[in-house]
Structure 1
Amino acid sequence: MTESPADDRRPAENARQESDAAANIAGVENRIGRTNRSTSSDGLEYDVVRTPVLVVGAGAAGARVAISLAESGLEPLVIGKRDHGDAHTTWAAGGINAALGSLDDEDDWTIHAADTLNEGHHLNDPEAVELTAREMPDRIRELEEWGMPFDRTDDGAINQRYFGAQSYRRTCFVGDRTGEAMLETLIGRARDLEIPYRENVMITRLLSDGRRVFGAAGFDMETGRGLLFRSNHVVLAAGGFSALYDRHSSRDDENNGDAQALALEAGARLMDLEFVQFHPTGMVGERYGEEWDGRLVTEAVRGEGGRLYNSENERFMERYSPDQMELDARDVVARAIGQEIDAGRGTENGGVYLDISHRDADYVRERLPQMVERFASLGVDITEEPIEVAPTAHYTMGGVDIDFHTGETRVDGLYAVGEAVAGVHGANRLGGNSLAETVAIGKLVGDHIATAVDESDADPSVTDEQRALAEREFRSLESLADADGEVTPTTLLADLGELLWDRAGILRDESGLRTGLEELEALRDRTGDLRVEGGLTSRSFEFAVDLSVSLTVAEAMLRTALARTESRGAHYRTDYPETHPDWRVNLLVSADEGGLAIDRRGVAEPSDPVREALEEGYELDYHHLE
């Protein structure tokens, strides 16, 4: 990470986006009541915005919730940290799952659900899984209707490809830019519905008494002005926390635990934080440059037949998974790569080789255009030579604990959706299910909230107590911006990333996790000497805010990883290498006066149709690709 001066803000992509942003802000004022300027008794100035529903996060999940609300006649306000359309969804390249049966007509939603439960090592919420699998064919057709340009078969059906651990070809795609195309489609629909949107806004606290939420407090990242959002219904759709790690596939300013820390502080529970997915194929920085270190090489490369080789030119997945090979579960492939590197069979740059040059060059260019273009810009022709890859922190299965029919947390009026939540993916996510969850559950949550909003929510008043809580937060932010110590936020974030990679990475043990907690406490002590440069509108200040939430989520993750004394899915304990039936429980994290409390909760059983699919034992036959 690097710090930037106060005026180093990412501009809108072009004049049209700037115009759209201005129009959206004007729409906010026109349709939900004008933004009111307020001044505290000691002269602190800030803005108050009232809205029936506040959606925090502008990726696919937040957009889909807002679309459902708008289609129900409501006018939610969507806020995001970046420019409109610049969300982490765009980095999901490979595809989105739905049992359409375009190529394999034996596939159906029950097998999709069974694959998801198997990949999640049966820690998933079965109801969440089944809701997602059942909803997805309709959601794909909906996206198609809204203009998403899916790749097609020769007979015009939506094309589908293999993804790891899928029993059939189930992953719909737009080349290797599926997430980008999907977000463009959702934003297009949101604009058609004239959904209000505010960009470059960072939420730092939810207004909550621990039982009910009343809105949120934050600041305008371009002006530094405090913002009090008053709403009886708040949706957290702000992503996960994989960017806490030193090597990760996210941008440095995304997926750093905002949603989880906000929810925990407001009184909600978190679940399954110990499960962090390390994608098998991230770029290895020393060869391609620090800018690309950890950047995702889409699973579509393996889905289209890419093969993994070690430095001795062995196709090593034959040792670890002779039946499913490179398309086994992500945790299996990531550990296999790690073991090859640890055994001295890695490349000089600390990776292995991923090779798709045996496929027809035109086919590769057609199916993987962005990968071809990216590596060509770095001097590598993937149609002719292999690329170097190594595991990278990619996705967090854990998050906010919700009811999947409604999106509700245990705090009244607070909802969550997307990678911000836990439940669909269990101990390991099935590739292609992240985008699926956003639209499948996003619609259900939006539909439910629409029934919960009443006339009193349209223009909620602001109490003295709510103002006092927000003003206290604004003063805290100003104090943080004035910090003039010796250590920068980027230094501490880098140290945190290295700590987590070393102590809570692909392989874990009790000694390392306990050491990690000790090092985390020492790192937290160093925040007392923090230096922020450039004030409230600087990147330095943004990273300082990120640091505070990151430390909270990192502690919860380390503590749950220490508590789970077994290996399951993405959580691998070298001192407890077996999976134990007594540990088929979810670990719930809540905040209390003593710090973080961890509780257990049993996992429900799937429905009879899905149980039958599980008993059938469907499994990918990798050799279809040979």
Structure 2
Amino acid sequence: MTSSSRPTNDESRSVDYETIPVRVLIVGAGAAGARTAIQLVEQGLDPEDILVVGKRSHGDAHTTWARGGINGALGTHDPEDDWTIHAADTLNEGHHLNDPAKVEAVTRRMPALLRELDDWGMAFSRTDEGDIDQRYFGAQSFRRTAFAGDHTGESLLDTLVERAQSLSIPYRENVFVSKLLTDDGGDRVLGAAATDLDTGDFLLFDADAVVLAAGGYTSLYRRHSSRDDENTGDGPALAYDAGARLMDMEFVQFHPTGMVGARYGEEWDGRLVTEAVRGEGGHLYNAQGERFMERYSPDQMELDARDVVARAIDEEIAAGRGTEHGGVLLDISHRDPEFIRERLPRMYERFADLGVDMATEPVEVAPTAHYGMGGVVVDDAGETTVDGLYAIGETMAGVHGANRLGGNSLAETIAYGQVTGDAIAARLADWSAGSGADPSALHDAAGRHFADLASLAGSTGSIRPDALLDDLRATLWDHAGIHRDEAGLTAGLDALATLRERATGLDVADCTDRSFEFALNLQFGLTVAEAILRSAAERPESRGAHHRPDHPETDPDWRRNVVVERGTFGTMALSTAPVDEPSPAVRDALDAGYELDYHQLE
């Protein structure tokens, strides 16, 4: 490690920063980042050549909030299930905008990866025979979702962190990466610039390869299932700024069952009530006592696709059949109390702490922004169009298409962690550290960015960045929410332009203050919000999670992906790209027409 300084823009003073050389920098310490690091070491890379950085305490990534389960065609209860049917379900749920090769990369690998996690000590729930148990999730043809009670993400990350620590993989916590640095032509990534949020020190990571595993962008909505300071679009915004392309940004999944803040308190508004409640037999009722999914999906009921159930709930509330708090009722009290406490322990404890006994009464829920299907365009190895820059997990696009199959998010993180880890290890095996890198380009770009950060810290404007973030969330919720139309999207872009203008007058304290972090989140959020709004305006149809009442039908001619890239003079350029076809094995599974019949559960 070395210390360096570069002049600020006005040449009057220097900005000090620490330079940290590393072969592979992994940005994001959740399941995707951890699994990539593990794979690199298992493929022979020295742990000291890897560094995992996260902007929270180690082990406190958003992965822990994924509760319901992780998919893989083990066939524990349904031996006729296999990876091709899993792939077919994923493509059907994605309304066939998914990249079939990426879908197959995930579904083929998952049975073995689940068994590997079991070998590493993950606390899976078990059948009476001792096998990894599996439950139904929405829109799945068979019981394919492995789980650890209703704390699967937490158990998964604990397992991966323990494995990474056993391999002595280095990590740094509370580090905020604010810019990727490239060569002068923008063709190759050289490293990343960051701030230590504890000390306020600037950090330059000089890296041969950078992996973005920094999550998604749904906390840019007013009601969402994330913590406010996570899933703010860091990964897609960093990649876009570096010259990579984005795709499918209009597809934002609204989970049907988020907690209703008017009932449980503002701090709980939008927090996820896991799909496992419905997977274990929970029923949805409106305020009139009607099990309303009979109107919308009589065959699949509460276990239809998330977009279908979320829109049904939204319509019930809009029609005046919601609760006084603005939700509907989710009831699993018909199941045995011991069953509920065993299968849904975290949910049971959470509501018990709020004075609600799930074993005897329903809970109130409403749709909440939950997952961004879009993200960074990558090839089959997870590499972007910028040489040496990779994106995986919720940061990447391609696996989920227009709507994500429940249980596939955790699956994608570990499957592509393995895929990308293999690819980078093979690349570095015959490539000496720093090959062809231009150190002057790296330091020049770093110096300029650190000068900008130094100017941002201590800004004395009149606008608080957290307040502007709240306004941005309201803009997306109002104009690019469950329902979108041309007038609303146009109004949203106008509102976004006003927010950008207001963002020039921020009030920001020093680099250790939360206002500094919020200001950086805001910059990322403005970029991602524009990509969402423009992509949604570009797609004149309804498909999956993208619902446009002014274009209510699905248009076969729009079986295309919307791609976003940097245009001239700071503009966003949009184009479309065709979707590939699945392999013959997956096509056979699609043609067989497998489908969940909810009533077999009753």
**Normalised-by-shorter TM-score class:** over 0.9
Deviations 1:414-433 (A, max 9, x none): 01100001100000000000
Q: 2: CA distance between counterparts of 1:519 and 1:488?
A: 17
Aligned to 2:10: none
Aligned to 1:24: none
Q: 1: CA distance between counterparts of 2:488 and 2:114?
A: 44
- 1:456 Cα deviation after fit: 5.2
Deviations 1:498-553 (A, max 9, x none): 111010000010000000000000111001221113x1001111001000010001
SS at match of 1:40: strand
The one of 554, 560, 581 equivalent to 2:556 is 581
The one of 524, 528, 545 equivalent to 1:570 is 545
- 1:299 Cα deviation after fit: 0.2
Q: Which amino acid aligns with 1:249?
A: S
Aligned to 2:342: 366
1:507 aligns with 2:478: no
Aligned to 1:19: none
Deviations 1:109-137 (A, max 9, x none): 01000000000000000011111110000
Q: 2: CA distance between counterparts of 1:106 and 1:368?
A: 27
1:43 aligns with 2:14: yes
Q: Which amino acid aligns with 1:389?
A: V
Aligned to 1:62: 33
Aligned to 2:105: 131
- 1:624 Cα deviation after fit: 2.0
Segments of 4+ in structure 1 off by > 6 A?
none
Structure 1 runs not aligned, ≥5 long: 1-34
The one of 291, 295, 304 equivalent to 1:328 is 304
Aligned to 1:298: 274
Aligned to 2:588: 612
Aligned to 1:13: none
Q: 1: CA distance between counterparts of 2:14 and 2:383?
A: 37
Q: 1: CA distance between counterparts of 2:599 and 2:269?
A: 32
Q: 1: CA distance between counterparts of 2:210 and 2:329?
A: 45
Q: How does 1:126-525 map to 2 (within 5 A)?
A: 126-209=100-183, 210-404=186-380, 406-454=381-429, 457-458=432-433, 463-525=439-501
Aligned to 1:83: 57
Q: How does 1:527-606 map to 2 (within 5 A)?
A: 527-533=503-509, 535-594=510-569, 595-606=571-582
- The normalised TM-score by structure 2 is 0.97
Q: 2: CA distance between counterparts of 1:192 and 1:56?
A: 20
Q: 1: CA distance between counterparts of 2:429 and 2:4?
A: 26
Deviations 1:180-205 (A, max 9, x none): 00000000110011001011111111
Deviations 1:388-436 (A, max 9, x none): 00000000000000012x1111110001100001100000000000000
Q: 2: CA distance between counterparts of 1:457 and 1:593?
A: 36
On the 8 A contact 1:111/1:618 being kept in 2, the answer is: yes
On the 8 A contact 2:255/2:367 being kept in 1, the answer is: yes
On the 8 A contact 2:5/2:447 being kept in 1, the answer is: no
- 1:457 Cα deviation after fit: 4.3
Q: 1: CA distance between counterparts of 2:484 and 2:219?
A: 18
Deviations 1:364-406 (A, max 9, x none): 00000000000000000000000000000000000000012x1
- 1:40 Cα deviation after fit: 2.7
- 1:459 Cα deviation after fit: 5.7
- 1:43 Cα deviation after fit: 3.1
Q: 2: CA distance between counterparts of 1:514 and 1:581?
A: 25
Q: 2: CA distance between counterparts of 1:466 and 1:260?
A: 21
Q: Which amino acid aligns with 1:38?
A: S
On the 8 A contact 1:335/1:506 being kept in 2, the answer is: yes
Q: Which amino acid aligns with 2:338?
A: D
Q: Rate the CA distance shift 1:49–1:456 in 2: closer, same or farther, 3 A.
A: farther
Q: 1: CA distance between counterparts of 2:108 and 2:445?
A: 42
On the 8 A contact 2:208/2:433 being kept in 1, the answer is: no
Q: Which amino acid aligns with 1:549?
A: F
- 1:483 Cα deviation after fit: 1.2
Q: 2: CA distance between counterparts of 1:79 and 1:380?
A: 39
Deviations 1:263-314 (A, max 9, x none): 0111110000000000000000011001000000000000000000000000
Q: 1: CA distance between counterparts of 2:254 and 2:521?
A: 22
Q: 1: CA distance between counterparts of 2:446 and 2:61?
A: 27
Q: Which amino acid aligns with 1:395?
A: Y
Q: 1: CA distance between counterparts of 2:505 and 2:239?
A: 27
RMSD: 1.0
Q: 1: CA distance between counterparts of 2:130 and 2:399?
A: 31
- 1:465 Cα deviation after fit: 2.2
Q: Which amino acid aligns with 1:241?
A: Y
On the 8 A contact 1:277/1:429 being kept in 2, the answer is: yes
SS at match of 1:537: coil
SS at match of 1:619: coil
Q: 1: CA distance between counterparts of 2:384 and 2:106?
A: 19
Q: How does 1:21-36 map to 2 (within 5 A)?
A: 35-36=1-2
Bigger shift: 518-527 or 38-47? Answer: 38-47
Q: Rate the CA distance shift 1:340–1:542 in 2: closer, same or farther, 3 A.
A: same
- 1:485 Cα deviation after fit: 1.0
Q: 2: CA distance between counterparts of 1:524 and 1:201?
A: 26
Q: 2: CA distance between counterparts of 1:348 and 1:486?
A: 38
SS at match of 1:93: coil
- 1:454 Cα deviation after fit: 4.4
Q: Identity, % of aligned pairs? A: 64
Q: Which amino acid aligns with 1:506?
A: I
Q: 1: CA distance between counterparts of 2:434 and 2:472?
A: 42
Q: 2: CA distance between counterparts of 1:347 and 1:211?
A: 54
Q: 2: CA distance between counterparts of 1:170 and 1:106?
A: 11
Structure 2 runs not aligned, ≥5 long: 8-12
- 1:455 Cα deviation after fit: 6.3
Q: 1: CA distance between counterparts of 2:336 and 2:534?
A: 48
SS at match of 1:590: strand
SS at match of 1:259: helix
Q: Which amino acid aligns with 2:130?
A: G
On the 8 A contact 1:48/1:230 being kept in 2, the answer is: yes
The one of 38, 42, 53 equivalent to 1:71 is 42
SS at match of 1:277: strand
Aligned to 1:18: none
Q: 2: CA distance between counterparts of 1:416 and 1:295?
A: 26
SS at match of 1:207: strand
On the 8 A contact 1:51/1:459 being kept in 2, the answer is: no
- The normalised TM-score by structure 1 is 0.93
Q: 2: CA distance between counterparts of 1:218 and 1:289?
A: 35
Q: Which amino acid aligns with 1:49?
A: I
On the 8 A contact 1:52/1:457 being kept in 2, the answer is: no
SS at match of 1:169: coil
On the 8 A contact 2:208/2:434 being kept in 1, the answer is: no
SS at match of 2:323: coil
Q: Which amino acid aligns with 2:32?
A: A
